[in-house]
Amino acid sequence: MKKLFVMLLLVQASVIFSQEVVIKSLKTFTTKDANSIPVLSSPRDLLTIDFDVQAEYPPNIHIIFEFCDRNWNATDNIFLANQGQNTAYTFNYFSLPTTVEDAKYHYTNTFPDNDGYVSFPFSGKWKFYIVDSQNYDLIFAEGRFFVVKADVPLKVDIKRETLEDKTYFPPQLGHSNWIIVDAMPKEDYFPFFVDELEIVQNHLIDYSIKVSRNSTDQNRVFEWDGGSKLRFIAKDVFPGNEYRQTNLTDINIFNSKNVKAQFDGMEYSRFLLMSKRDNNGSFTLNAPKDMYSTYMNVTFQIKPPEEVYGDIYLVGAFNDWKVSQNYKMNFDGDHHELTILLKRGVYDYQYVVVNGDYSDVTNQNWFVLEGNDWQITNDYNIFLWYRDQEYGGYDRIIGYSKIQTR
């Protein structure tokens, strides 16, 4: 009888280890702000990692945290590996209602944890990987966040400017912001190693604006008085428009498995239209224990003006605002269309026109279908970088500010 019991356990374990695991609706945020990019700027701040799992049984997973350089490359410096406090082993989760399709379990956990398995001792960029507990090379999902231990105040000024080198029609297309940041590092910091300012607009982490000490771009200016005062200027930062938004929360309207992102169906250019207030690039989901908080096949459709040429890509809170091949819309000769699986909730998104290689930022036009105007709200997270010489050298955030424009 004991042998039979052991054999049954082994069989069940092998099934769990070999099962297919899919992570869905991954959201990373701080406990103080669920809609902004995750920035831990205070010792009291906690990081929340929230996601659904599609699997037959609760999977055996770990979450590994890695410190990165300013370009999101995981460091191989042993002094920065944070050994002993870089892996989470146990998690809070529960079964989703049986009415929820395409996912079975919901996980939500905060870090650093009370058990002391996870800490974030270094100021900078961090990644986490949700992995198989028996095979760390099997990565189910990953995410990013910032840890800020800043002691250099930043003075931020935003000026409205019209682009000088061209005549734009309509004039809104020429509207831009100049973001001017002054910093005076303390004597502890060698000014020459304070070498870059990074600006993240809303959730556009992959398209951040960087002003480097060695920049040759006339729109990215660094100034130093030879003493302790540093100035970084980012010119021609386009405000864009409020994002489009699909609100799938109403079960009376969105009451089937297959729905359209907009109840009216087809969308068009918003080049001269102001949209309603958005969530600055975030998304919110119905409560996970809500019996109607299920997944739907959501179809996005847009018919661009005839004078707009190129491929159209869908970007939004559901794909980390990345222009990627998986979100290239299909063109049928009349309009562009793409169907994706989304959980019931509210999502910000927009359309990007691409001519050429989609991975080349210079081929991407984020404004021709969406518009550009000062009369909108944007979040700007601003980070000041320092090439710290400790621990063999690493990238460290020493200044931080978050501002909102309107």
DSSP per residue, 275-326: PPP--TT-EEE--TT-TT--EEEEEEEE---TT--SEEEEEEGGGTT---GG
**Residues spanned by the domain of 220:** 154-240+381-405
The confidence score (pLDDT) of residue 258 equals 97
Rounded Cα distance, 77 and 337, in Å: 46
The confidence score (pLDDT) of residue 297 equals 98
Share of the chain above pLDDT 90, in %: 79
Residue 392 belongs to domain with CATH number: 2.60.40
Per-residue confidence at 360, pLDDT binned at 50, 70, 90? very high
Residues 274 and 351 both lie in one domain: yes
The confidence score (pLDDT) of residue 265 equals 86
Digit-coded pLDDT (tens) for 173-216:
778 899 999 999 988 899 899 999 999 999 999 999 999 999 88
- pTM (2 d.p.): 0.92
Tell me the β-bridge partners of 247: 346
Count of Cβ atoms closer than 10 Å to residue 165 Cβ: 7
Is position 83 within any domain?
yes
pLDDT > 70? residue 14: no
CA nearest to 113, candidates 140, 91, 137:
91
The domain tally of the chain equals: 3
Rounded Cα distance, 203 and 223, in Å: 28
pLDDT > 60? residue 129: yes
The confidence score (pLDDT) of residue 172 equals 67
The confidence score (pLDDT) of residue 266 equals 94
Count of Cβ atoms closer than 10 Å to residue 331 Cβ: 12
The confidence score (pLDDT) of residue 165 equals 60
Which has more pLDDT, 197 or 373?
197
Q: What secondary structure does DSSP assign to 14-42, as a single string? A: HHHHHS--EEEEEEEEETTBSSS--EE-S
pLDDT > 60? residue 7: no
What is the average per-residue pLDDT within 383-402?
96
Residues 277 and 189 both lie in one domain: no
Per-residue confidence at 170, pLDDT binned at 50, 70, 90? low
Residues 258 and 349 both lie in one domain: yes
The confidence score (pLDDT) of residue 196 equals 97
Residues 128 and 167 both lie in one domain: no
Per-residue confidence at 44, pLDDT binned at 50, 70, 90? very high
In angstroms, the first-to-last Cα distance of the chain is 71
Residues 13 and 81 both lie in one domain: yes
Residues whose CB falls within 8 Å of the CB of residue 330, separated by 6 or more in sequence, listed in order:
336, 337, 338
Residues 358 and 283 both lie in one domain: yes
Place of tokens 């005549």: 167
- The DSSP bridge pattern shows strands 295-302 and 39-40 to be unpaired
Residue 192 dihedral angles phi and psi, to the nearest 5°: -65, -25
The confidence score (pLDDT) of residue 164 equals 62
Per-residue confidence at 1, pLDDT binned at 50, 70, 90? very low
Digit-coded pLDDT (tens) for 234-262:
998 999 999 999 999 999 999 999 999 99
Instruction: Please count the helices (runs of H) and the strands (runs of E) in the chain.
Output: 1, 26
Token pair belonging to 139? 């990565």
Is position 298 within any domain?
yes
Length of the chain: 406
The confidence score (pLDDT) of residue 79 equals 93
Average predicted confidence (pLDDT) for the chain: 91
Per-residue confidence at 13, pLDDT binned at 50, 70, 90? very low
- Domain boundary residue, one of 147, 180, 198: 147
Share of the chain above pLDDT 70, in %: 93
What is the average per-residue pLDDT within 165-176?
68
Buried b (16+ CB within 10 A) or exposed e, 289-306: ebeebbbbebebbbebee
Is position 39 within any domain?
yes
Residues 75 and 16 both lie in one domain: yes
Buried b (16+ CB within 10 A) or exposed e, 3-33: eeeeeeeeeeeeebeeeebebbbbbbbbeee
What is the average per-residue pLDDT within 123-129?
98
Place of tokens 């210079």: 362
